[in-house]
Structure 1
Amino acid sequence: MGVDPHLLRTFVCVAELGSFSAAAQRLGYTQSAVSQHIAVLESDLGTPVLQRRPVAPTLAGQRLLEHAAPILLRLAAARADVARAVAPQPAMHLGVTSLALVPGLAALLPAMAELTCAPRDEVVAGVAAGRFSAGLVAGLAAPSDPLRLNDFGPLHRFPVGQAEQVVVVALALDHPLAGRSGLALADLSGAFWIDAPGAAVPLSDLWPMPARVSTRLHGDDVLTLLALVAAGHGLALLPQHLAGTAGVGCVPITEPRLVFRVEAVATSDTDPLLELLRQRTVVPDRGGL
């Protein structure tokens, strides 16, 4: 038994919006067509996937949702891969996480490249689906481990080893730990953090330590993050090249051994970005902003 991807896409849209009429408007269908799609899907699966009032996934629908997003993404990735095989390649359009473009790495990019800054999962998904020609993502990892990325399909990953940096804790200059030469994550178990996944190393990378959050920053403005740190609103994890900013102290993480790593992701091993990185040495700038 196979599930028609058009029906699956309609189901995901209705479940996301909680409305048949809103889903119809977004998808460009009539409401009756959306209702028919769901009825056919439920007949195919032999069970209801949506309760009607209010509109919400049933238990079976919740299970289907867990599979639907990666299925639809893989289909989009396959379609983009076929398109790339038969059509001229567009100009380089890179998806990048806010901290991935360390200064030495930025110097490698061609002058006419187009960049879009986005969270890590969005960059990887965008590369898989063909929205970006390639991506640059960053995060914490053990010295010999790759970054932990969600599986959005078969992608080629290239660790930009020369861009690896020491991980530092950014804190206010008058913080009790500001004068330390190094810190273990265990030393920070009771600390308050600024949750800023777009502007700092995501707190979800702080395995296995749960983080106590005092302030949340949405977006990728690193300068705003540093101003919050300097004002004592909480700690943040950053790569070493951002150390030395006025009003902010930075102490290296010494235990466990972690590095700030940048990886390039692409759908082809011969992608122009990967070729550039293989040919050139990336030396990060160790200065301030």
Structure 2
Amino acid sequence: MAFTDASLTALRVFREVAERGTLTAAAAALGYTQSAVSRQIAALERAAGAPLLERRHDGVRLTAAGRVVVRRAASVVDQIDATARELAGLPDERATVRLGWFPSAGATLVPRALAAVRAAHPGITVITREGSTPALVRALRAGTLDLALLAAAPPFRPPDDETPALVLSTLAERSQCLAVPAAHPLARGEFVDIADLRGQRWIAGTGRDGLMGVWPGLDERAEVTHTARDWLAKLHLVAAGCGITTVPASLAAVVPPGVRVLPVHGGPAEQRRLMLARMPGALPEAAVWVAEAVSAVMVDGGTVGRD
């Protein structure tokens, strides 16, 4: 079987697997059974004459051949979809840019960037979605995102070890803050001393690096009384007096009543770096404009957190 015999369905399935990271997640997203996804991948590997995926206990990883195929698959699928839209008389989407972002960026940074794009370039359609760093990186490599906002903590390692390396542009570095109930003793001053974090009740979420929302480097086992993935839910729990949580300084303007956002003094600074990531190579003009709008928002005073 020659690779020219590869079906469009198999290419779509393969791109979904590359983005989702597991056969199970791809099957759920496509509405297929896992066995159907496996058959499509097997057929594509026969056509390619090489393994495209490395099966691991935590999912799948693209082989060198798989990385070549996913780049080409993204282009082929996009071209077919564009042809179908043109034949159906739908608007041309050449000016569509797909932007991914980490959770807390949706509170202030992304809406302001989208407003700037609409004002300066009303012909551009920006499609966005929230995701974790691993999910956004897979989507970039699968060709389903053009740009992704990523946030990271020291030591600021690359978001993955695949090749080619992603192009990363640092937009800003800011310190992490603390969200406390307005009536809490910690809220009486203009900052919180790190020594006063001992014995506190924490509101946290979970991420790939463990608990998110607990101040890093505590010299005790944190007492986590509530867990929530959503930033707004965590902040409302803070407002209700249920505990304290870490928070990006960028959210200070949108916290609910009854919450104070304060810096923490003492101990090492908890820096967070906001980066714009993309695949290497020339960007379409519309994507360049979106990237410039995101950068301008940061220059005008955006700040950064991590999820």
Q: TM bucket by the smaller chain?
A: 0.5 to 0.7
How many angstroms apart in 1 are the aligned matches of 2:68 and 2:58?
A: 17
Q: How far 1:92 sits from its partner (Å)?
A: 0.8
- The alpha-carbon distance between structure 1 residues 234 and 276, as it changes in their structure 2 partners (threshold 3 A), is same
Partner residue, 2:126? 113
TM score, norm. by length of structure 2: 0.59
Q: How far 1:193 sits from its partner (Å)?
A: 2.1
How many angstroms apart in 2 are the aligned matches of 1:77 and 1:206?
A: 38
The one of 173, 179, 182 equivalent to 2:191 is 182
Percent identical pairs in the alignment equals 21
The one of 189, 192, 195 equivalent to 2:201 is 192
Alignment deviations for residues 107-165 of structure 1 (CA, whole Å, 9 cap, x no partner): 444551000112222112211222212211224x35xx64663435421111112xx44
2:156 is equivalent to residue 151 of structure 1: no
- The alpha-carbon distance between structure 1 residues 127 and 178, as it changes in their structure 2 partners (threshold 3 A), is same
8 A contact 2:140–2:278 mirrored in 1: yes
Partner residue, 1:78? 68
How many angstroms apart in 1 are the aligned matches of 2:145 and 2:159?
A: 17
How many angstroms apart in 2 are the aligned matches of 1:233 and 1:249?
A: 14
8 A contact 1:94–1:113 mirrored in 2: yes
How many angstroms apart in 2 are the aligned matches of 1:92 and 1:184?
A: 43
Which secondary structure does the structure 1 equivalent of 2:105 belong to?
coil
Please say which of residues 273-282 and 115-124 is displaced more in the overlay: 273-282
Stretches of structure 2 that go unaligned for 5 or more consecutive residues are 1-16, 28-32, 47-53, 80-93
- The alpha-carbon distance between structure 1 residues 92 and 148, as it changes in their structure 2 partners (threshold 3 A), is same
- Two-structure CA RMSD over aligned residues (Å): 4.2
Alignment deviations for residues 45-83 of structure 1 (CA, whole Å, 9 cap, x no partner): xxxxxxxxxxxxxxxxxx9625862336x6654334335
Q: How far 1:258 sits from its partner (Å)?
A: 2.6
Stretches of structure 1 that go unaligned for 5 or more consecutive residues are 1-8, 38-62
Q: How far 1:238 sits from its partner (Å)?
A: 1.6
How many angstroms apart in 1 are the aligned matches of 2:251 and 2:58?
A: 40
Partner residue, 2:91? none
Partner residue, 1:95? 100
Residue correspondence of structure 1 range 21-40 to structure 2 within 5 A: 23-27=34-38
8 A contact 1:184–1:256 mirrored in 2: no
2:249 is equivalent to residue 240 of structure 1: yes
8 A contact 2:238–2:244 mirrored in 1: yes
TM score, norm. by length of structure 1: 0.62
How many angstroms apart in 1 are the aligned matches of 2:133 and 2:177?
A: 20
